[in-house]
Structure 1
Amino acid sequence: MTTISENTQAAAVSQRDEATGLIGFLPAKAARALVLGGSGLTVAACFLAWTWTPTFPGDLTYYGSPAGLQTQVLVLGVLTALFALSSYGVKGTRWLTPAGADAAIKVAALATFGTTWYTVAAISISLGGPINLEPGGAIVALSSLLTLLGALALPFERPAVHPVDPEDTGWDQFKHRAGNGWTAFKGAFAATGTVRKLPPMHSTVEILIITGILAAALGVFTYGVGTEYDELFLGFLITAGLGFAAINKSGLMQQATQLTKKHQNLTIAGAFIAAALFPFTQTDDQYATLGVYILIFATVALGLNIVVGLAGLLDLGYVAFLGVGAYAAALVSGAPTSPFGVHLPFWAAVLVGAGASLVFGVLIGAPTLRLRGDYLAIVTLGFGEIFRIAVMNTDGTSGPDITNGSNGIASIPNLDIFGFDFGAEHAIAGFTIGRFANYFFLMLLIMAVVVMVFRRSGDSRIGRAWVAIREDETAALAMGINGFRVKLIAFALGASLAGLAGTVQAHVTYTVTPEQYLFAGPIPPNSAFLLAAVVLGGMGTMSGPLVGASLLFLIPNKLQFMGEYQLFAFGVALILLMRFRPEGMIANRRNQLEFHEHDETPATPVKAGA
């Protein structure tokens, strides 16, 4: 059995400390010292005043009390310092970097530098020049720059891999790539002296760790939703994006993923409990409003994930099924503008909305699902536009009087379920819960149903057939899978889930109009944003579309102050994400291997001693 001897590890660490990095002006040992000193100075500078006037949002004039953007820089500075201590092997910090510290230090230093210099630039532009900076602002700018320079001086070497013989068979090339990957993997950990396994933990400890992860996620989400001014939200985007990238480089995200997979049912239950606590963190309905719309958008995205992520059917008109469910529920919910004059209870309206979307899904899917690829996408895009034009023309003038045309169905009454009025405030455990918080809890229950359907269908026989169709439809048909029937089931199931969310949307918005169901627009939900949420979040996964939908709804709402540049900035962000994370933010293992099968591990392999 081959092992790595202590002498080999010591030689590898010594070689690592003598190496130079990207900018090559310092040996690695001195670079780590510069990172540690610079990050410590950055943390200390966060307790100083950065400007002399409270005119800049957040009031950065206090000593000893970080506020606003100072808090974000403080968190990133502490994170960088901890990674630097871990690179020294300080006891109690080694667990922070199970995949090696150098890459994590670089990204964390970049995050600190980015948020700091963004803040300095915002102060200078807002107040009329850098002369408005107090000494604390100048110190933190210099210290973050030194930290980044030290991080860039850390070694960055790629493993030497043997070329593939072009005459090898496909299986031989696969074995060759697997062997190179394993060699690089061993070399990466050997070169950093981090070949170690986590000690076995008691289930209680693992549950406590998962609880901490969920609590941190709730805190980050609540902070992002509750950012009170534009500068703070832009800083939050930099901090959260690069901060999570640094944590991912350290290997902590992979370990967290392993823990959550081990206790998957407990993690899902804990995630719903954490989400249910969100309204209790708010003092009014201002941000609970965003919460309920995010849940609606995320639920619809998860339904689309069945069609696109599991079955591989490109649907560009999926938002129409949301509209069918919303209109169907609005017409039978007692709205005074409904021509039917029917007021069904909520459970019946839910069945009507989901059933109407299911019927439309079957009617549209039956004649079109024999198409593939771009042709199917064009047909579904046409269906989305046909639905919008049809509801505009059924106004009693151009067609029958059903939907009131462009005016839509207005004055939809609030829900009343078993005497619980969703439009009124209620006191729960001493907290006052408003209208949007009531709908937030209802939407959370509906999302639980959708998550259960997604999990059960994905693990079932039909779910495996969807994946087979997605990977290679010709091979799946040759194996005896009825491709048309399998795709029609996916299309109908996804449509019914969208209609289910549409029934709640109709009551939350009070009014349903054709303009709410466009293919593309500045504010979701629309078909383009729904598809982007699935792709960016991670196709075929359960949590990916939920995370993607949350970000794609929150960010455009917070970037409205940018006016005509909003979609430009948003588009640039999407391009960068697809460039550096093409498999999505939360990707399944298959997609991750497909997108990164030719990537090399940034490390130098070390020969192992016997």
Structure 2
Amino acid sequence: MTTQTTTAQTPGSPTTEPNKGLIGIPEHIGRALATAGGALTVISTFLAWTWTSAFPGDLTYYGYPGGLQVLVLIGGALTTLFGLASYGTKGLRWLTPAGADSAIKLAATGTFATAWYTIIAISATLGGLVHLEPGGWIAAIATLTALLGALALPFERPEPDPHDPDDTGWEQFRHHTRHALTTLRAAVASGRTKTPRELPAYAEILIIVAALTTGLIVFTYGIGTSYDELFVGFLITAGFGFTALAKAGLINRVSAITAKHRNVTLIGAFVAAAAFPFTQSDDQYATIGVYILIFATVALGLNIVVGLAGLLDLGYVAFLGVGAYTAAMVSGSPSSPFDIQLPFWASALLGAAVAMVFGVLIGAPTLRLRGDYLAIVTLGFGEIFRLAVLNADGTSGPDITNGSNGISSIPNINILGFDFGQEHTIAGFTIARFANYFLLMLLITLVVVVVFRRSSDSRIGRAWVAIREDETAARAMGINGFRVKLIAFALGATLAGLAGTVQAHVTYTVTPEQYMFAHVVPPNSAFLLAAVVLGGMGTISGPLVGAALLYLIPAKLQFLGDFQLLAFGLALVLIMRFRPEGLIPNRRRQLEFHAEAEAPTVLSKSGA
């Protein structure tokens, strides 16, 4: 057996040759620099960064971080926590089950990027570096120090000594696993150690509550960013922070806890979302919230078709339009050709039913196709729907949809005397029109989540997954592929139609341009599919998160003008490059994309 010359260094213990990172600084020095730099960054946020309040956020106060300083404070705190955890600090090791080095690198890089972006923005806005106060210079030096220290940490974890130079990677992995289990059993038998114990149930529930509260705070902060520089800084900090937590293994650990308490998580998420309107003083951001929920609900319905059944549907937004147009026609609009005003529950059921019928009619002749051919046909259906409602104006076709003018003046929803268009006071909080619709849409989202969850766990759900993985093998096992795919198509269309009935009342007007394949403002088929893939196919929370990001980011990047779609597309490319399985993937897809990381690579005798 050969001995590796490069050995892992445990903090506080000497080694023959310390590991070195990208810049050649010894590992223990780099770890100290990263930790100290993170702590100094936190201190710098309590100092003034500029002398004038002309820069947005007013960074002139001492002892009170504001604006972009808050984001730098969060990044510095994460860097410091991960740095202390890398030393094995008691109570912090729980935060880094997968190791702290990668998390330190990402947190330090994100903090450096946010701080230096702020300094450059201050200089560009005010006219030079002379407008910086000492706090700004300290932040620049501290974040640079933390970044250099993080770069000194090894990028690859040292591998153990090979059992046999001729062994394959899998054989080596089996050997070391066997050896570790034998050692653990011997230690437990001798009483030297104890098997790791699970947290008590109340502690796990508290962790779920903390995670949901953090999610609500981050979501509310992202929507409420009042100027462009703050939102860009928020994107940098949130992106690097989330990736750092994922690399540390904390995201997977919390996900395992939430999967164990699924009912508690579902109820807690609903309560946290319902609290959002009560955190707003007006309808400015509740408007964005209700549109995000509509987008997310439709994306979750598409997730049944794409994520579970594996059917590439590029015309899914048409089912949203079917539901919206149906509700608009029977809700008493003066632009409707039908003199009908049904109560909302009836129009909602009718819109969902009509969308389901369209799903069956479109799916029956087309679902025998696969892959790209199915995608082309569904794309054609989406365009046919748009052109049909555009021409049904009484001139080019029957007078049904009022053509390009659409159906306007759709009345507000009124359920049991509760007018969703009026302000209401609940528990001392005044909620306005869009907040009312937010709560209604939240209830519909909950219904869709329950339907998705029950369907995916059922026999038909397992059949969908089997069809997605290998349709030929599924057919050989007795699964009726056509019937199973048709059920998925019809169910997805029903859920989209249900969301469309609320959209018609929220927007007051439905027009053909709202249901194009690609449109600047979501929802559209391209954005819906991107939300499913970006968030995580086959999961519940993935499309919800993906839809929120894909709606919020374009809405906040309008200051880029013509470069908005360029920046947005670049962000999507980077996310898909570094996390192709999605932001919140299921375990199966994560293994598909990262199978090479499941077994360690074999080091050669030379250590190369």
User: Normalising to structure 2: TM-score of the pair?
Assistant: 0.92
Q: Residues 322-361 of structure 1: matches in 2 within 5 Å?
A: 322-361=320-359
Kindly state the Cα deviation for residue 104 of structure 1 after the two structures are TM-superposed.
Answer: 1.1
DSSP-derived class of the 2:400 partner: coil
What is the aligned counterpart of 1:252 among 238, 241, 250?
Answer: 250
DSSP-derived class of the 2:425 partner: strand
Kindly state the Cα deviation for residue 182 of structure 1 after the two structures are TM-superposed.
Answer: 5.5
What is the aligned counterpart of 2:441 among 434, 440, 443?
Answer: 443
Task: Identify the residue that residue 21 of structure 2 maps to in structure 1.
Answer: 22
DSSP-derived class of the 1:432 partner: strand
Kindly state the Cα deviation for residue 222 of structure 1 after the two structures are TM-superposed.
Answer: 0.5
Task: Identify the residue that residue 459 of structure 2 maps to in structure 1.
Answer: 461
Kindly state the Cα deviation for residue 15 of structure 1 after the two structures are TM-superposed.
Answer: 6.4
Change in Cα spacing, 1:465 to 1:348, as seen in structure 2 (3 Å) is same
Count of residue pairs the alignment pairs up: 585
CA distance in 2, matches of 1:394, 1:177: 68
CA distance in 2, matches of 1:208, 1:404: 54
Kindly state the Cα deviation for residue 177 of structure 1 after the two structures are TM-superposed.
Answer: 9.0
CA distance in 2, matches of 1:180, 1:61: 60
1:477 aligns with 2:475: yes
Contact 2:34 2:150 in 1 (8 A): yes
CA distance in 1, matches of 2:319, 2:169: 43
Kindly state the Cα deviation for residue 183 of structure 1 after the two structures are TM-superposed.
Answer: 9.0
Contact 1:357 1:499 in 2 (8 A): yes
Contact 1:18 1:29 in 2 (8 A): no
Gaps of 5+ in 1: 1-7, 164-171, 190-194, 606-610
Kindly state the Cα deviation for residue 162 of structure 1 after the two structures are TM-superposed.
Answer: 11
Change in Cα spacing, 1:178 to 1:26, as seen in structure 2 (3 Å) is closer
Kindly state the Cα deviation for residue 578 of structure 1 after the two structures are TM-superposed.
Answer: 0.4
Q: Residues 308-327 of structure 1: matches in 2 within 5 Å?
A: 308-327=306-325
Q: Residues 77-96 of structure 1: matches in 2 within 5 Å?
A: 77-96=76-95
Kindly state the Cα deviation for residue 123 of structure 1 after the two structures are TM-superposed.
Answer: 1.0
Change in Cα spacing, 1:204 to 1:513, as seen in structure 2 (3 Å) is same
Kindly state the Cα deviation for residue 13 of structure 1 after the two structures are TM-superposed.
Answer: 7.2
CA distance in 2, matches of 1:255, 1:196: 20
DSSP-derived class of the 2:596 partner: coil
Task: Identify the residue that residue 190 of structure 2 maps to in structure 1.
Answer: none
Contact 2:51 2:133 in 1 (8 A): yes
CA distance in 2, matches of 1:176, 1:268: 42
CA distance in 2, matches of 1:526, 1:395: 23
What is the aligned counterpart of 2:382 among 384, 388, 402?
Answer: 384
Task: Identify the residue that residue 111 of structure 2 maps to in structure 1.
Answer: 112
Kindly state the Cα deviation for residue 40 of structure 1 after the two structures are TM-superposed.
Answer: 1.6
Change in Cα spacing, 1:18 to 1:429, as seen in structure 2 (3 Å) is farther
Change in Cα spacing, 1:206 to 1:580, as seen in structure 2 (3 Å) is same
Change in Cα spacing, 1:546 to 1:46, as seen in structure 2 (3 Å) is same
Q: Letter of the 1:351 partner, please give it.
A: L
Contact 1:157 1:604 in 2 (8 A): no
DSSP-derived class of the 2:583 partner: coil
Q: Letter of the 1:48 partner, please give it.
A: L
CA distance in 1, matches of 2:308, 2:15: 44
Task: Identify the residue that residue 430 of structure 1 maps to in structure 2.
Answer: 428
Instruction: Spell out, residue by residue over 1:278-298, the C-alpha distance to the aligned partner (whole angstroms, 9 max, x if none).
Output: 000000001011111010000
CA distance in 2, matches of 1:545, 1:582: 14
Change in Cα spacing, 1:506 to 1:142, as seen in structure 2 (3 Å) is same
Change in Cα spacing, 1:15 to 1:179, as seen in structure 2 (3 Å) is farther
Kindly state the Cα deviation for residue 111 of structure 1 after the two structures are TM-superposed.
Answer: 1.1
Change in Cα spacing, 1:93 to 1:160, as seen in structure 2 (3 Å) is closer
Kindly state the Cα deviation for residue 90 of structure 1 after the two structures are TM-superposed.
Answer: 2.5
Task: Identify the residue that residue 192 of structure 1 maps to in structure 2.
Answer: none
DSSP-derived class of the 2:597 partner: coil
Task: Identify the residue that residue 576 of structure 2 maps to in structure 1.
Answer: 578
Kindly state the Cα deviation for residue 600 of structure 1 after the two structures are TM-superposed.
Answer: 6.5
Change in Cα spacing, 1:502 to 1:183, as seen in structure 2 (3 Å) is farther
DSSP-derived class of the 1:231 partner: helix
Q: Letter of the 2:72 partner, please give it.
A: V
CA distance in 2, matches of 1:145, 1:592: 33
Higher relative contact order, chain-length normalized (CA < 8 Å, sep 6+): 1
CA distance in 2, matches of 1:427, 1:398: 48
Contact 2:11 2:87 in 1 (8 A): no
DSSP-derived class of the 1:19 partner: coil
Task: Identify the residue that residue 548 of structure 2 maps to in structure 1.
Answer: 550
What is the aligned counterpart of 1:307 among 275, 290, 305?
Answer: 305
DSSP-derived class of the 2:580 partner: coil
Task: Identify the residue that residue 137 of structure 2 maps to in structure 1.
Answer: 138
User: Normalising to structure 1: TM-score of the pair?
Assistant: 0.91
CA distance in 1, matches of 2:266, 2:540: 10
Contact 2:20 2:27 in 1 (8 A): yes
DSSP-derived class of the 1:598 partner: helix
What is the aligned counterpart of 1:528 among 526, 529, 539?
Answer: 526
Kindly state the Cα deviation for residue 205 of structure 1 after the two structures are TM-superposed.
Answer: 1.5
DSSP-derived class of the 2:430 partner: strand
Contact 2:169 2:600 in 1 (8 A): no
DSSP-derived class of the 1:427 partner: strand
Change in Cα spacing, 1:406 to 1:439, as seen in structure 2 (3 Å) is same
Q: Letter of the 2:539 partner, please give it.
A: T
